[in-house]
């Protein structure tokens, strides 16, 4: 029995309980309600209807093969120019060596997203994917955001569909959801004007889905966007998911305000609040009725709040990661990675069932007891 203190939520609750789709106006009501307890209960209802108590994670490694980038997004503290002392740029052998350095048994997913390198030839990218598959059989390569795919299209003179087709043939297993930021043109012109457009981002994911490449979708929030622009972003994703069904999960990414031009220009030093993070996750769960998973990205909101978010619609907490640099360059204070045992403890102590998955969301192991994480 869901208890509500805000009468405006009552017709929404009736639709949620009946499994009916929410309108844009109802989504905005969710963003403005003061009944946070009612909001979390509604999001949890959908979460449990779709996934029960199961909460998913993957044993993964994050690798940024270069931080050299010409795009100049104002929210980014990760990118470097080619001649900067902090720049790095691994060749194919260097990428293989970096993975081998961190590789351990049971590693399922290699997540790669990096800068838009201005001079690397197109051949480097499929060659890298082939080398990773050859050297680490069974390790699923999830790589290249839609923004990177557009960059590779310009670099190669090929269409984005041709780029995706060749990368899949080389062994690309899945795509991350980065580069989406906020779809609204007003915001995009201020924070990522040289990055892939919203329409092209959606087109590239549609093309990937048509090739059988499953993807994720992200949204960067907590900077200059309005609540209406957040919901518009979700609305466009919901429409594409209706058409293709190719998204695994939606991942709200909290803006990190350190060491980037956007934060400096705004005079912004505060991170998003826990309430904003939880509300955003709950609204996502309720509005994106055709997404199987809403992901609480522990790197950006911290493992403690991620644990709380399991009652606010979240059914996936990303992965062990091993070593993350993009969010940490902008001030994320979370660890660079977590062990499998820490992931299981976070989920289990949040009252949920930890399920280890791979990049395809196949269930590999269900942890019934906390101590099983050490097996």
Residue 106 CB coordination number (10 Å): 11
Rounded-to-integer distance, Cα 64 and Cα 90, Å:
9
- Strand 214-221 to 172-175 pairing: parallel
Quick: pLDDT tens for 126-185.
999 999 999 999 999 999 999 999 999 999 999 999 999 999 999 999 999 999 999 999
Residue 375 has a pLDDT of 45
Residues 6+ apart with CB under 8 A from 239: none
- The pLDDT value given to residue 115: 82
Q: Hey, where are the domains in the chain? A: 7-374
Average pLDDT over residues 21-42: 98
- With 0-12 / 13-18 / 19 or more C-beta atoms within 10 angstroms meaning exposed / middle / buried, residue 187 is buried
Band (53; pLDDT cuts 50, 70, 90): very high
Across residues 8-13, what is the average pLDDT?
98
Q: Which residues contact 235 (CB under 8 A, 6 or more apart)?
A: 24, 27, 287
The CATH class of 7-374 is alpha beta
The chain-wide mean pLDDT, for the chain, equals 90
What share of the chain in percent tops pLDDT 90?
A: 73
Q: Which residue has the higher pLDDT, 301 or 262?
A: 301
- How much is the pLDDT for 121? 95
pLDDT, mean of residues 101-124 = 91
What global pTM score does this model have? 0.91
Q: Please give the average per-residue pLDDT across 271-278, as a whole number.
A: 92
pLDDT digits (tens, 9 = 90+) for 183-195: 999 999 988 888 8
In angstroms, the first-to-last Cα distance of the chain is 39
**Selection from 153, 204, 157 nearest residue 178 by Cα:** 204
Say what the pLDDT of residue 40 is.
98
């Amino acid at each position: 029995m869901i208890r509500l203190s805000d009468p405006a939520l009552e017709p929404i609750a009736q639709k949620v309980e009946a499994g009916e789709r929410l309108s844009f106006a109802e989504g905005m009501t969710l963003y403005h309600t003061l009944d946070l307890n009612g909001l979390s209960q509604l999001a949890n209802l959908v979460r449990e209807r779709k996934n029960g108590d199961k909460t998913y994670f993957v044993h993964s490694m994050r690798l940024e093969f270069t931080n050299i980038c010409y795009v100049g997004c104002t929210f980014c503290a990760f990118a470097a120019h080619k001649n900067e002392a902090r720049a790095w740029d691994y060749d194919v052998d260097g990428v293989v060596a970096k993975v081998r350095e961190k590789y351990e048994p049971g590693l399922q997913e290699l997540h790669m997203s990096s800068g838009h390198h201005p001079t690397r030839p197109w051949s480097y990218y499929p060659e890298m994917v082939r080398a990773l598959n050859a050297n680490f059989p069974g390790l699923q390569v999830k790589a290249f955001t839609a923004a990177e795919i557009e960059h590779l299209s310009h670099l190669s003179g090929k269409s984005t569909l041709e780029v995706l087709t060749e990368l899949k043939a080389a062994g690309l297993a899945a795509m991350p959801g980065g580069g989406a930021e906020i779809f609204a043109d007003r915001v995009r012109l201020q924070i990522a004007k040289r990055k892939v457009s919203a329409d092209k981002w959606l087109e590239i994911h549609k093309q990937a889905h048509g090739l059988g490449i499953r993807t994720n979708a992200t949204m960067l929030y907590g900077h200059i966007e309005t609540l209406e622009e957040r919901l518009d972003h979700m609305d466009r994703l919901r429409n594409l998911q209706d058409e293709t069904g190719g998204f695994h999960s939606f991942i709200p990414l909290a803006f990190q305000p350190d060491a980037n031009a956007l934060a400096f220009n705004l005079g912004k030093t505060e991170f998003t609040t826990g309430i904003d993070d939880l509300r955003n996750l709950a609204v996502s769960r309720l509005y994106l009725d055709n997404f199987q998973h809403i992901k609480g990205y522990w790197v950006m909101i911290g493992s403690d709040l991620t644990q709380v978010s399991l009652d606010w619609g979240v059914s996936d907490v990303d992965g062990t990661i091993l070593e993350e640099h993009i969010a940490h360059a902008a001030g994320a204070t979370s660890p660079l990675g977590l062990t499998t045992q820490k992931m299981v403890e976070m989920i289990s102590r949040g009252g949920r069932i930890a399920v280890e998955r791979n990049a395809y969301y196949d269930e590999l192991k269900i942890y019934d007891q906390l101590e099983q994480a050490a097996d």
